[in-house]
Structure formats: structure tokens, C-alpha cells
């Protein structure tokens, strides 16, 4: 019975929605929570790569023209965005972007997704942290400062959702392939003390100016994402 209901759901809900909405797009952004997969280890990264491959396989890539767009749309630009870049110090953003670039390139090749421009960016639509440094012995560590969500844990400490703290989440590997290598040193699915650990943060409070004007929420590279997706239409 559950199988029949699931098949009916795909037939009457998923496919019509995709046909009426998704299939009409000519630009697409795919949001990837790579940090959660990194927390889980190489197996989760492999699952993420397969998921991105299947998503890309749903689109029709290539550049259209007035005549072809009249009948059906083609995706000519797709942005693969690694979200929650604010959960890392900016010194690690290039490495996060390299990991997602490696994942996206392999997914594009496996899905035969040719004829469209594909870009990768590490971004945060809402920045929940700020950056700082802390001294640990003779070493200065780059940290992120924010309020972890209630129940988040790191190094045996459970956060209450109210206390602001400085966290050093760890260094991403220099070589992107390391996070996909299930036999390498970064394989930590069964480790109680992972080398990299990311926690979720509460969003920042809205600030107001002296005149009472509410300021917009901070972000990381949201402008770059918009520029890539629709910048040519605004020129």
C-alpha cells in the first residue's frame, strides 16, 4: 500500500510540479550543505555527489534561442553553491569551494551535463557569525564567533542556544580528493573526535540605525551568486 501511495505521489504531485515549474527555468542554483556531509565523512560525500548527479540529469542543458525557448526552456547557467560558508573562517572558503568544485565537476561529467555554464561558490544567504582569532599557546587560531543552536555539541560541550562562543571548526584538507577517500586519514564516520566538526548557529538579530531603520541581514557572496545567474539580464 505504501508503495502504491508513493508512486501516486510521484505521478500526481512531483511530476506535474516539475513539468509546470522546474522545467520552465533557464537558470538554476543548486544549494549543497557540504558541511553536514563533511561531518559525516567520505561516505556521505559520495552520497552527496550521487544526489547532485541525479539533480543535474533532470535538467536540459544548452543555450536556447527565441524559437526553441518558445517550445521548451534549456538551462544555460547553473550555480552550485556550498551553503553555510559563515560556519568557516574565510581562510577555509577556498578549500570548501574546491571540494564542491570537485564534486560538481564529477557530477557534471557523470550526468553528461554539457552545453551550459557551471560555476561554484561558497556562500551564506544569511551570515550568522563573525570572525576573530584566539591564542592557544604560541599558536594563533582563526575562529568564528556566534551562538550555536541549542543541543549542538562539540568536544563534549553541549550548547544552550543562548551563549555566544568562539569556535575553531578545524582545517579543511588542502587536497579536495581527501574528503572523498574512504580509506584515507579523513575517514572518520566512526570517530568520536573528528578532525573537522561544524555546528549550526542561530541567525543574527536584526539591527536598527539611530533613525529606526532596520538594516539588512549580512551575507557572504550572495551578490556574486545573483550576478552569475541574472547579471547578463541586468546589463
Half-sphere exposure of residue 213: CA atoms within 13 angstroms, side-chain side: 4
> How many domains does the chain divide into?
1
Cell numbers given for 10: 510521484
Most confident among 126-130, 155-159, 185-189 (mean pLDDT): 126-130
| 67, burial (CB in 10 Å: exposed 0-12, middle 13-18, buried 19+) | exposed
Positive or negative, the Cα torsion across 224, 218, 149, 196? positive
Of the two residues 99 and 109, the one the predictor is more confident about is 99
Report the percentage of the chain scoring pLDDT > 90: 28
Supply the DSSP symbol for 194.
Answer: -
Which pLDDT belongs to residue 212? Answer: 77
Could you tell me the pTM of the whole model?
0.79
Beta bridge partners of 12: none
Half-sphere exposure of residue 82: CA atoms within 13 angstroms, side-chain side: 28
CA distance 160 to 116: 46
Report the percentage of the chain scoring pLDDT > 70: 86
Q: Which domain holds residue 212?
A: 2-234
Quickly state the pLDDT bin for 175 (edges 50, 70, 90). confident
pLDDT digits over 179-217, tens only? 887 665 544 444 444 456 788 899 988 878 878 777 788
Give 3-state DSSP helix, strand, coil % of the chain, rounded to 5.
40, 20, 40
pLDDT digits over 51-102, tens only? 888 887 777 776 655 555 555 667 888 899 999 999 999 999 999 999 999 8
- pLDDT above 90: residue 148: yes
CA distances, 129 to each of 65, 124, 202, 224, 229 (Å): 43, 10, 9, 19, 26
Of the two residues 228 and 22, the one the predictor is more confident about is 228
Amino acid at each position: 500500500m505504501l508503495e502504491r501511495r508513493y508512486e501516486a505521489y510521484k505521478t500526481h504531485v512531483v511530476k506535474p510540479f516539475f513539468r509546470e515549474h522546474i522545467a520552465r527555468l533557464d537558470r538554476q542554483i543548486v544549494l549543497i550543505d557540504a558541511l553536514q556531509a563533511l561531518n559525516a565523512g567520505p561516505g556521505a560525500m559520495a552520497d552527496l555527489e550521487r544526489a547532485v548527479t541525479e539533480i543535474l540529469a533532470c535538467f536540459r542543458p544548452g543555450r536556447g534561442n527565441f524559437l526553441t525557448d518558445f517550445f521548451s526552456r534549456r538551462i544555460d547557467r547553473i550555480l552550485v553553491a556550498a551553503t553555510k560558508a559563515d560556519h568557516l573562517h574565510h581562510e577555509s572558503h577556498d578549500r570548501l569551494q574546491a571540494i564542491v568544485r570537485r564534486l560538481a565537476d564529477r557530477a557534471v561529467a557523470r550526468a553528461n551535463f554539457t552545453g551550459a555554464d557551471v560555476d561554484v561558490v561558497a556562500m551564506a544567504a544569511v551570515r550568522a557569525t563573525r570572525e576573530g582569532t584566539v591564542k592557544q599557546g604560541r599558536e594563533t587560531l582563526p575562529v568564528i564567533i556566534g551562538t550555536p543552536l541549542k543541543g549542538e555539541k562539540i568536544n563534549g560541550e553541549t550548547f544552550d542556544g543562548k551563549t555566544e562562543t568562539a569556535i575553531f571548526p578545524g582545517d579543511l584538507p588542502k587536497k579536495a580528493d581527501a574528503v572523498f577517500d574512504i580509506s584515507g586519514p579523513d575517514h572518520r564516520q566512526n570517530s568520536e573526535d573528528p578532525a573537522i566538526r561544524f555546528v549550526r548557529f542561530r541567525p543574527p538579530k536584526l539591527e536598527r540605525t539611530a533613525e529606526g531603520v532596520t538594516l539588512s541581514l549580512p551575507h557572504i557572496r550572495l551578490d556574486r551568486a545573483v550576478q552569475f545567474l541574472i547579471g547578463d539580464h541586468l546589463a
